[in-house]
Structure 1
Amino acid sequence: MAATTMEMMAMGGKKRYTHMTFFWGVNSEILFEMWPGTSRGHYALALIVCFFMTLLLEWVSYLRITRPGWSHGAISATRTAMYTFRIGLAYLVMLAIMSFNGGVFIVILAAHSLGFALFGCKKVKEEDSSCCASKPDLPVAACC
């Protein structure tokens, strides 16, 4: 049988900051229980962490580590590790967005935009006409 909120508070339970609609404010939980909590400094740190985590996600999406001449096994292992890392980051960013905090949403959108501008919009030189030289190791994440 599930305990009601009043019963939880009577039993010494903690007040949680779970929202199911977008809200503005520092009283939130992002990724971890009771973090950032009610501290403005911790909230600012949480926004910074979300920003750089998302920027890292964009960088990994356009990264090229493998080189021609590597063995098939080395290429497969490298790309599998990169894919696993990227998917893990993507899930963490998704969970941060699911905090429904407006600040987190804006910071993550800004980081995706900056990441795409920095890493996804590189101009291909005219001299480099080979089809694979400018492609990233991982396919770009797509929702469709």
Structure 2
Amino acid sequence: MNMTHGSMSTSNSSSSGYGGMNMKMMMHMSFYWGKDAIILFSNWPEQRLSMYVLALFFVFILALAVEILSVSPNIKNGMNPLVGGAVQAAVYGLKMALAYMVMLSLMSFNVGVFIVAVIGHAFGFFLVKSRALATANKAAAASSSAASVAAKV
């Protein structure tokens, strides 16, 4: 297909395609560093450093929440199976919604967003696993002390 330079119209009027959007902002398709990003919502963080830092904090909290929600809530004995399943499904749905928001944030291809998302996931994983280890150690200590008391009797 042979196209000359003048064969394509580059009008920025609101009557052009894309639903009337003004196509001034360039969308990156490779990693880049800088505060000039669009994260999740149009015109956010508005090319201001303070808003960019807030956006990074938001992505960190999203990634942290995804990891914390990866632990299913405990279902108590005697609970209605339908209610227990509904609670677990609601937590799973929330976790997936937050995970997709992190993924959409990463599609800005901003290196800062990528680093903050990875740190948020890692810190959330650390919190979940250290809590599980502390619970297991507490249970092991309780069972060993109960066994030593039973041996003395």
Question: Do they superpose with TM above 0.5?
Answer: yes
Gapped runs of 5+ residues in structure 2? 1-7, 15-21, 144-153
Q: Secondary structure at the match of 2:40?
A: strand
1:16 aligns with 2:20: no
1:116 aligns with 2:125: yes
TM-score, normalised to structure 2's length? 0.73
Deviation string, structure 1 residues 12-59 (Cα, Å, up to 9, x no partner): 625224111000001110000111121111101100100011111111
Structure 2 distance, partners of 1:35, 1:28, is 8
Deviation string, structure 1 residues 48-97 (Cα, Å, up to 9, x no partner): 10001111111111252422221111111101101111110110000001
TM-score, normalised to structure 1's length? 0.77
How many residue pairs match? The answer is 124
Structure 2 distance, partners of 1:128, 1:81, is 34
Structure richer in strand, relative to its length: 1
Structure richer in helix, relative to its length: 2
Match of 2:91 among 70, 82, 92: 82
**Higher relative contact order at CA 8 Å, sep ≥6: structure 1 or structure 2?**
1
Match of 1:35 among 38, 44, 49: 44
Match of residue 60 from structure 1: 69
State percent identity of aligned pairs.
35
Q: Report the structure number with the largest CA radius of gyration.
A: 2
1:47 aligns with 2:43: no
Q: CA deviation at 1:6?
A: 3.6
